[in-house]
Amino acid sequence: MAAALAIAALALFFLPSVLDFFSGGPGGTGSGNESAAPSGPVASVVPSATARPVPTPQVYIVKSGDTMSKIATKFNVTIDELIAANADTIKDPDKISIGDQVIIPVPDSEQEPGSCESAPPS
């Protein structure tokens, strides 16, 4: 019985290297499609920074009691920016109707990513 136990232990000890031989692992025969390891230095890939998306204008649907001025205040844009953004679709800013679509421009306070304004030294 001790001999059978010793044989089983040896078989388990050598089993991984036997399986590598048949599967084409290190030193194995395998299918013959293995490629050799690169002999020179391997170039590393440096990830590039992901570009931040540029804010896009929203579309607001006019509700009862809305005026261009109220809409501008609600979205923190100037009335001039709001009128300019809608020059093609709203001919008279004083005459908007319920259900009209108003383009809300991106406020000037939202700068392009990466840009930074600083106050001049005092």
Over residues 28-85, the pLDDT tens digits come to: 555 555 555 656 677 777 778 888 888 888 999 999 999 999 999 999 999 999 999 9
Quickly list H helices, 30-97. 68-74, 79-85
Cα 107–chain centre separation: 23
Residue 15 pLDDT > 60: yes
What domains, with CATH codes, occur in the chain? 58-104 (3.10.350.10)
Residue 39 has what DSSP assignment?
S
Q: List all residues 6 or more positions away from 31 whose beta carbon is below 8 Å from its beta carbon.
A: 24
What pTM was computed for the model?
Answer: 0.47
Range of lowest pLDDT (31-40, 74-83, 90-99, 108-117): 108-117
d(CA 81, CA 87): 10
Query: How far apart are alpha carbons 4 and 18 in whole angstroms?
Result: 20
Considering only residues 102 and 117, tell me which one the structure prediction assigns the higher pLDDT.
Answer: 102
121 or 77, greater pLDDT:
77
Residue 36 CA: distances (Å) to CA of 28, 33, 39, 43, 66: 13, 10, 8, 17, 72
Dig out the tokens for 81 from the structure: 């920016």
